[in-house]
C-alpha cells in the first residue's frame, strides 16, 4: 500500500466556507437592489396592457356586435354574461372575456360609459394605493 497517495476526507475548512459566504453576500448585495421594485413595475405594465388592449378589445367587440358599449350600470360584467338591464344587447355574442377583469392588485377595474374623460368610455385601475389618484392607470392619458 502506498501511504503517500491516501485521500483525505476531512471536508471543507472554515476559511473556505467563510469565503463562499462572503462571495454569496457580495453577489446578493449587487443583485437585490436591482430587482426591488420590479414586481410593482410589472403590475403597472400588466394593468396598462389590460386597459389599453385586452379589455379595450373586448369592449370594442361588444360595441361592434351590439352598436353600443355596456352602460355604467351593466359594467364590465356585460362582457362575461348577457345583460338583462336596458339597453339589452340584441346581438350579444360573448363571453368577450374569460374571467372577471381584476387589476394586478386584485381590485375590479373601474368602468363608466359614457365617460367623463372620453366620449365612449372611461376604464381605469386605482393602482396599488386605492385611496389616491396619483398611481391610477387610465385609458385617457
Residue found under cell 396619483: 134
Residue ranges of domains in the chain, CATH in brackets: 41-138 (3.30.700.10)
**Long-range own/partner contacts, residues 76-83 (CB < 8 A, 24 or more apart):** 76/100, 76/101, 76/108, 76/109, 76/111, 79/55
Which of 97, 132, 109 shows the shortest CA–CA distance to 46? 109
Residue 3: pLDDT above 80?
A: no
State mean pLDDT over 111-121: 93
pLDDT digits (tens, 9 = 90+) for 76-86: 999 999 999 89
135 Cβ contact list (under 8 Å, min separation 6): 126, 127, 128, 129
Return the SS3 of 108: strand
Residue found under cell 366620449: 119
38 Cβ contact list (under 8 Å, min separation 6): none
Where does residue 11 fall: left (phi above 0), alpha (psi -120 to 50 degrees), or beta otherwise? left
Q: What is residue 123's predicted lDDT score, i.e. its pLDDT? A: 95
Q: pLDDT-derived band of residue 35, with 50, 70 and 90 as boundaries?
A: low
67 Cβ contact list (under 8 Å, min separation 6): 91
State mean pLDDT over 23-39: 75
Q: In what order do the strands lie in the sheet with 110-112?
A: 110-112, 122-125, 137-138
pLDDT digits (tens, 9 = 90+) for 51-77: 999 999 999 999 999 999 999 999 999
Amino acid at each position: 500500500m502506498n501511504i503517500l497517495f491516501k485521500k483525505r476526507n476531512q471536508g471543507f475548512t472554515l476559511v473556505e466556507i467563510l469565503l463562499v459566504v462572503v462571495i454569496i453576500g457580495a453577489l446578493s448585495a449587487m443583485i437585490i437592489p436591482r430587482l426591488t421594485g420590479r414586481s410593482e413595475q410589472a403590475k403597472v405594465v400588466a394593468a396598462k396592457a389590460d386597459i389599453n388592449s385586452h379589455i379595450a378589445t373586448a369592449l370594442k367587440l361588444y360595441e361592434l356586435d351590439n352598436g353600443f358599449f355596456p352602460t355604467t350600470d351593466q359594467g364590465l360584467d356585460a362582457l362575461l354574461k348577457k345583460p338583462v338591464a336596458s339597453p339589452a344587447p340584441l346581438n350579444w355574442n360573448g363571453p368577450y372575456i374569460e374571467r372577471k377583469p381584476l387589476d394586478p392588485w386584485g381590485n375590479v377595474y373601474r368602468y363608466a360609459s359614457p365617460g367623463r374623460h372620453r366620449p365612449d368610455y372611461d376604464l381605469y385601475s386605482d393602482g396599488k394605493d386605492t385611496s389616491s389618484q396619483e398611481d391610477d392607470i387610465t385609458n385617457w392619458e
